[in-house]
A and B are shown apart, each in its own frame.
Chain A
Amino acid sequence: MDRIDAASPRNLARMAGFLYLLNIVGGFFAIGFVPTVIVASGDAVATAHNLQTSELLYRSGLAAHIVILVTNVGLAAIFYELFRVVNRTLALLVVFFTLVGTAVEGAGVLNQFGSLVLLNSGPYSGVFTAGQLRALAYLPVDTQGISYDVYTVFFGFYALTIGYLVFRSTFLPRLVGVLIVLDGLAYLTNSFAAFLAPGFAVHLVPWIQLPALFGEGSLCVGLLVMGVNGERWTRVSVAAGMPALEGDRRWS
């Protein structure tokens, strides 16, 4: 018996909720907490000092970020299984947006390792002055925002799609779907404001991040605490003419 395929929709949902929780907690640590400790905005000297004295914390943040990437991939697979009964094309779209967004996000993490490489005096460090090295090490910190703005475009599209699927699903609360759609709109607003009018985008933070808390937070809690309504899931699945998973048969 296969472990994932044999799981009931409710158990799949719980697994997704657990991965989402890891994702949110990891995201808070890696993107929300660590940079506020390490980065002194606009100050390359202080930032370089923090990077060197708190290297382990910085590395932990990057490691947590990589864990997030892995949970994204697992979530994509589970969401496909759960939502393909609602709309196969859109469920595939959820997977595709997640995978591309995750790949871009992962490449951004590579950039952030660059700061450590530069400051940990390699053979090339003698060519630059100390000031130049610190400025080069600060550059990935500075461009991290752009990387975030690019990958959140894909997560914005992901949220719009999965919000629609949740809304139409009947096996998850409609309100959660609405909240995730708002979350997606907030991501897209934030990214495109940052591309087009960075001066304006600065004023949107942190308000623009609240919808993510409610949208993805409610999806995570909903999946984790309630799971999905298995009876309704099976009904939707049968109506879509899809063969049930081995687990549904055992479960129902």
Chain B
Amino acid sequence: MELIDGMSPRARARITGAVYLLFFLTAFLSEVLLRQAGLSAISGVSGDAAAIANGIQAHESFLRWGVALGVFSIGCYVALMALFYQLFRPVSRSLSLVAVFLSLVGSAVGAFGNLFQLAPLVVLGGDSYLRAFDTNQLQAMALMFFNLSTQAGNISLLFFGLFQIVIGYVMLRSTFLPRLLGVLVAMAGVGWLTFMSPPVAIHLSTYFEVLGFIAEASLMLWLLVVGANSERWIEQATAAGRTYTPANVQMRRETR
């Protein structure tokens, strides 16, 4: 049987949930490890540059594992987007495509940000050419690089927010997933957009982070545990007049 394409819509939805879970776990672990090194991909770092630089050097392996898992998690997210497109195509081909393209741009910006998470190790690495700067300057540069990665993360949030609004709307119009999930995901997307304005974000960020977590976690768990309603998925796909993979045709025969 052909990988993914040859499976029933429900099985494909559950695989989507499994990849989503892998993304969740690696992204979460990445942030935990970065915090062990005194850093945070989400909130960046502020305060005494010397103390932070010493922390980075003392916990270098935490930083390295944090970045490695962070890059891996983006790889999972890119794979997730191909699965999302296949899942939501029957609802609206063009909107699903718009949604995953927004998310891909966000992923690329975020992945480029990972470069700036390792750059502090280069600056603090003590290569002889860096002696042109004194220690304070190098420590300040290390902090600046790391915070650039947080800025990249914030830029990618704009794309992820728009992605979630579009895909949430598509979910709402789908018949094979609960409508509530679509509403939650779209609201979470609106929440991420408020991060564009720091004064607004300061007051609301905690609420929107909680909302964002609940929305994505419930979507992930629903896909993983329940999957999508195969019969309805096929109905919606039939209505959209798409061509079938052999497994879908077989599924339809079985459900009749």
Residues of A within 8 A of B (CB): 42-45, 87-90, 92-93, 96-97, 99-100, 103-104, 107-108, 129, 131-132, 134-135, 138-139, 142-143, 146-147, 150-151, 153-154, 157, 164, 168, 191-192, 195-196, 239-243
Contact = CB atoms under 8 A, between A and B. Distances in A.
B78 A164 contact: no
A142 B122 contact: yes
A243 B244 CA distance: 11
A68 B118 CA distance: 25
B245 A104 contact: no
B102 to A, nearest CB: 13
Given A92-B82, A153-B72, A132 B132 contact: yes
**Which 6 pairs across A and B sit closest by C-beta, in order of nearness?**
A103-B108, A44-B129, A131-B132, A195-B68, A135-B132, A93-B82
Q: Interface majority SS on A: helix, strand, loop or mixed?
A: helix
Given A88-B245, A93-B78, 20 more contacts: A42-B127, A90-B4, A92-B82, A97-B75, A104-B115, A129-B132, A131-B132, A134-B129, A143-B119, A143-B122, A146-B119, A147-B115, A150-B114, A157-B75, A157-B79, A195-B64, A195-B68, A196-B64, A241-B244, A241-B245
Nearest to B244: A241
Contact of B112 (A103, A132, A164): A103
A132 B72 CA distance: 35
Contact of B122 (A99, A139, A164, A195): A139
B225 interface: no
Interface of chain B, main secondary structure: helix
A129 B245 CA distance: 65
Contacts of B104: 96, 99-100
Contacts of B85: 92
Interface in B63-93: 64-65, 67-68, 71-72, 74-75, 78-79, 81-83, 85-86
A23 B79 CA distance: 24
Contacts of A103: 105, 108-109, 111-112
Nearest to A45: B129
B81 A96 contact: yes
B42 interface: no
A143 B115 contact: yes
B82 A134 contact: no
B10 to A, nearest CB: 15
B105 to A, nearest CB: 7
Contacts of B129: 42-45, 134-135, 138
Given A96-B78, A132-B132, A192-B68, A87 B122 contact: no
Nearest to A191: B71
Given A143-B122, A195-B64, A108 B108 contact: no
Contacts of A108: 112, 115
Interface in B103-135: 104-105, 107-109, 111-112, 114-115, 118-119, 122-123, 127-130, 132-133
A195 B118 contact: yes
